[in-house]
Chains A and B, each alone.
Chain A
Amino acid sequence: MTDKHYHHQGEEIPAIDPALDAGPQTATGGPRGITSPTDELTAAERRRLIASMSPEDAERVPELHEVDVPAELQETIEAAMGRYPQVRSASIPALWAVQRHYGWCSPEGIREAAAVMGVSPAYLQSVASFYDLFRLEPAGSNQVLVCHNISCWMRGADDMLVEFCEATGCDHHEAEHHGADSPDGVFFVKGFECLGACDIAPMASINEHYYGPLEPGDARTIVAQLRAGSDPIPDKDLRKRPVAGGAEAQTVVGQRSGASPVGGEREAEQPSDMDSEDGTGE
């Protein structure tokens, strides 16, 4: 719809960038780091490029001796391959291993994983680009995912994201849409879809642990604690949260729970306020 494409129509089509042959690692820098070298092509250039390609140009499956894969990474990926009836099922575990090792799914890392698995790097790249948690660009070392879905939004998630951005210096618009790095490279902040913890809304996943319910001021505290190298707000760690209804709720007694004196006593102490006495079993 933009007229960008038409400007170029009469012009001479530039020669194909030699960088294309060298693989994605030599990609040109985009507004935030790396973009694909084909992103900037016009429609006509794209057509020319496709017409000029032949099946032999497709990137081969790299051989193991062609890549310098760290032993630990290779071991992790091979272990994953061994867990499944078919090795391709290890694609996602392999990409996780790459991301753990390099901090992101770097083109080199993907090539190494592809060599270990015997698939093409393009295949793994296509898988990596589908999933939100794989980072295709280098990112800040502390990962902050702020849920902005329905339940968290109702309880003030938008303000939380703003607060995280202010505390880290991340660009808010960028953080809300694709994720943003802080200028010092220490933080990666992203507004995320439902993380499955609406009981502690508004919440955030900080370095792979869930925290909430967040209140104004918490974001600043968390950022300061992470900068100081300590655990963030331990009292709001989801792992410590008890069941919402407390320990006193009535247990449905079957043979199994009947064998547990705890369940039995509870049943006796708290007679049912429901009618279906049959449902309580024995």
Chain B
Amino acid sequence: MSERRLLFADLDEPGLAGIDVYRRRGGYKALERAFRDLDPDELISQIEASGLRGRGGAGFSMGKKGSFLPRGEMTKYLCCNADESEPGAFKDRELMFKNPHGLIEGIAIAAHAVDASYAFVFIRGEYWDVGDVLDDAVREAYEAGYLGQNILGTGCQVELVVHRGAGAYICGEETALLDALEGKRGNPRLKPPFPAVQGLYNGPTLINNVETLCNVPHIVENGPEWFAALGTEQSSGTKVVSVSGCVQRPGNYEIELGIPAREIIYGLAGGPPQGREVKVWFPGGSSAPVLTGDDLDIPYSFETLAEAGSMLGSGSIIVGDDTVSVPELALRTASFYHHESCGKCTPCREGTNWTVKMLERVVRGEATPMDLDIISSVQENIIGNCLCVLGDSMAMPVGSMVRKFRDEFEEVIARAREAAPGPIDVAGADQPPVVLGAGG
């Protein structure tokens, strides 16, 4: 219908994961051009001119990020973030599994652009099958001379290692990813220094998402103007959107940025089952503040979703229809972040814990409407107060659910209180009271 495929073009072609079919389709031509005809500065300015923004969540300009790396003789690194652990996100999995060489080509070109001689793909441990496919593809690329010490005889070196994680959402955070790659527990680091200056092994490091890097060969091949003409002015290119939850045809759809969300949810993914309606949806993974059924006509792009008080994030739409209980959804969301909090920063460690406890009380019918204010206040005290955004990633959606669906929360509480004869036995009353911080 309104799919526009660039990265997903003929993704199901038999044998595409092998180097022969990939090359027959024009693969590695961009790499040859980048290494033979273009110097790193030209490459970086092309990527910047294309307007390509990071597809992992933050949406930062890839060219700008690359230009932050210092020039000169030193060992630099490139890390491809393939940790994809955000609930609702599964685009990188399909890209890597079906077209691993597209990623490898993008990594090699990006490494050349920032003069990095070592590159790593940090892939989440659960993607066992995908890791195997990548391993095979990397071997093929080495044999063909697209990776290694002397790429295509140009004297340039890019070594690529596929590094498997072992199950920790936090490793998708760039500095935690670096710690995990250095063989430590995946705890985030204090920024600054930013990884572009001091990252892996304390060297300058460029970190980019899988989908971002997959776009790079297309930019080199077709020119930055061509790429910038796709999508909207501030959100150029196509975007792979993962649609899941209460829709009839869940899956990855590649669209040109800027089309209405309704077209994605209803047109492509089929909308909720017959007779049901969209009640609540996450536009950019479970970390994004939720939107409601009234927001479906918002154009799907970085800037318009930000204006609407949410974010495009990793481009993962999770749809909840009118059968979904928002308080339970909030609890499910908070429980995930509570489980995944690394425990390093107090607002996140304690905030996720108490939010889960309070939401459990709401769902069990042991809360009062005042608890909703406390929940909101806890979320406000998490945002911006931790080393990384994991805490914020819970605070934003949960805060938005309480704000936008407060009537439903109050109704759940009232119904449970009516059903309960006599005073409510508040579980956890022996716990110390929540002390609200002064904020800031």
**A contact residues vs B (CB 8 Å cutoff):** 1, 83-86, 88-93, 95-96, 126-127, 130-134, 145, 149-151, 153-155, 192-201, 205, 208-210, 238-239, 242-245, 247, 249-252, 254-257, 259-260, 262-263, 272-274, 276, 278-279, 281
**Contacts A197-B90, A279-B230, A279-B256; A130 near B251 (Cβ below 8 A):** no
- B-side contacts of A243, CB under 8 Å: 8, 11-12, 94, 98, 251-252
Residue from the list A131, A149, A242 in contact with B332, Cβ < 8 A: A149
Q: Does B169 contact A (CB under 8 A)?
A: yes
The minimal Cβ–Cβ distance linking A259 to chain B, given in whole angstroms, is 5
**Contacts A154-B320, A249-B3; A209 near B168 (Cβ below 8 A):** no
- A192 to B125, alpha carbons, bound, how many Å? 13
B88–A131 contact, CB under 8 A?
no
Residue from the list A91, A132, A197, A274 in contact with B93, Cβ < 8 A: A197
Q: Does B249 contact A (CB under 8 A)?
A: yes
Residue from the list B85, B166, B168 in contact with A95, Cβ < 8 A: B166
Residue from the list A91, A193, A245, A247 in contact with B183, Cβ < 8 A: A91
**Contacts A193-B336, A252-B6, A256-B221; A92 near B163 (Cβ below 8 A):** yes
Residue of B201, B244, B249, B269 contacting most chain A CB atoms (<10 Å): B244
**Contacts A133-B126, A193-B339; A252 near B87 (Cβ below 8 A):** no
The minimal Cβ–Cβ distance linking A236 to chain B, given in whole angstroms, is 14
Chain B 233-271 per-residue mask, 1 if CB under 8 angstroms from chain A, else 0 = 000001000111110011111101001000000001100
Identify the closest chain B residue to A150 (Cβ).
Answer: B87
- A-side contacts of B226, CB under 8 Å: 254, 281
Q: Does B184 contact A (CB under 8 A)?
A: yes
Chain B 164-178 per-residue mask, 1 if CB under 8 angstroms from chain A, else 0 = 111111000000000
A198–B90 contact, CB under 8 A?
yes
- B-side contacts of A149, CB under 8 Å: 87, 286, 332, 336
Residue from the list B4, B26, B86 in contact with A259, Cβ < 8 A: B26
**B contact residues vs A (CB 8 Å cutoff):** 1-6, 8-13, 25-26, 29-30, 75, 84-90, 93-94, 97-98, 118, 124-129, 161, 163-169, 180-186, 201, 217-218, 221-222, 226, 229-231, 238, 242-246, 249-254, 256, 259, 268-269, 282, 286, 316, 318, 320, 324, 329, 332-333, 336, 339-340, 342, 430-432
The 6 A-B pairs with the shortest beta carbon distances in the complex, nearest first, are: A244-B251, A132-B167, A198-B244, A91-B183, A131-B166, A254-B222
The minimal Cβ–Cβ distance linking A240 to chain B, given in whole angstroms, is 10
B245–A198 contact, CB under 8 A?
yes
- A-side contacts of B253, CB under 8 Å: 244-245
**Contacts A130-B186, A205-B126, A244-B253; A196 near B245 (Cβ below 8 A):** no
**Contacts A150-B88, A154-B324, A193-B340; A260 near B126 (Cβ below 8 A):** no
Residue from the list B1, B26, B167, B320 in contact with A131, Cβ < 8 A: B167
Identify the closest chain A residue to B83 (Cβ).
Answer: A196
Identify the closest chain B residue to A94 (Cβ).
Answer: B183
- A51 to B9, alpha carbons, bound, how many Å? 65
Residue from the list A89, A192, A198 in contact with B88, Cβ < 8 A: A198
- B-side contacts of A254, CB under 8 Å: 6, 218, 221-222, 226
- A154 to B326, alpha carbons, bound, how many Å? 11
B430–A1 contact, CB under 8 A?
yes
A276–B229 contact, CB under 8 A?
yes
Residue of A93, A131, A245, A273 contacting most chain B CB atoms (<10 Å): A245
B252–A150 contact, CB under 8 A?
no
Give 23 CB contacts A-B under 8 Å.
Answer: A88-B183, A127-B185, A130-B185, A130-B342, A150-B87, A150-B286, A150-B333, A150-B336, A151-B88, A155-B245, A193-B336, A196-B85, A198-B90, A243-B252, A244-B250, A250-B4, A250-B5, A252-B4, A252-B230, A256-B221, A260-B26, A274-B259, A279-B231
- A268 to B9, alpha carbons, bound, how many Å? 15
Identify the closest chain A residue to B286 (Cβ).
Answer: A150
The minimal Cβ–Cβ distance linking A123 to chain B, given in whole angstroms, is 9
- A-side contacts of B90, CB under 8 Å: 196-199
- A78 to B25, alpha carbons, bound, how many Å? 38
Residue from the list B12, B229, B246 in contact with A154, Cβ < 8 A: B246
A256–B168 contact, CB under 8 A?
no
A150–B332 contact, CB under 8 A?
yes
- B-side contacts of A252, CB under 8 Å: 4-6, 9, 230, 238, 256
Residue of A1, A195, A199 contacting most chain B CB atoms (<10 Å): A199
- B-side contacts of A205, CB under 8 Å: 126
Identify the closest chain A residue to B166 (Cβ).
Answer: A131
The minimal Cβ–Cβ distance linking B313 to chain A, given in whole angstroms, is 14
B167–A250 contact, CB under 8 A?
no
B250–A198 contact, CB under 8 A?
yes
**Contacts A96-B164, A256-B30, A256-B222; A199 near B250 (Cβ below 8 A):** yes
- A95 to B254, alpha carbons, bound, how many Å? 37
A244–B249 contact, CB under 8 A?
yes
- B-side contacts of A197, CB under 8 Å: 90, 93
A251–B10 contact, CB under 8 A?
yes
- A228 to B222, alpha carbons, bound, how many Å? 53
- A255 to B227, alpha carbons, bound, how many Å? 12
B252–A194 contact, CB under 8 A?
no
Identify the closest chain B residue to A132 (Cβ).
Answer: B167
- A278 to B97, alpha carbons, bound, how many Å? 31
- B-side contacts of A95, CB under 8 Å: 166
- A272 to B342, alpha carbons, bound, how many Å? 47
| Inter-chain pairs besides A193-B87, A254-B222, 8 sampled, C-beta below 8 Å | A131-B167, A150-B245, A194-B86, A196-B85, A243-B252, A245-B251, A249-B3, A263-B9
B169–A193 contact, CB under 8 A?
yes
The minimal Cβ–Cβ distance linking A182 to chain B, given in whole angstroms, is 21
- B-side contacts of A274, CB under 8 Å: 2, 4, 256, 259
A208–B185 contact, CB under 8 A?
no
The minimal Cβ–Cβ distance linking A113 to chain B, given in whole angstroms, is 12
Residue from the list B183, B256, B432 in contact with A89, Cβ < 8 A: B183
B252–A256 contact, CB under 8 A?
no
A260–B10 contact, CB under 8 A?
yes
Identify the closest chain A residue to B251 (Cβ).
Answer: A244
Residue from the list A84, A150, A155, A257 in contact with B9, Cβ < 8 A: A257
- A134 to B180, alpha carbons, bound, how many Å? 14
- A-side contacts of B324, CB under 8 Å: 154
The minimal Cβ–Cβ distance linking B45 to chain A, given in whole angstroms, is 19
The minimal Cβ–Cβ distance linking B18 to chain A, given in whole angstroms, is 15
- A271 to B246, alpha carbons, bound, how many Å? 31
The minimal Cβ–Cβ distance linking B268 to chain A, given in whole angstroms, is 6
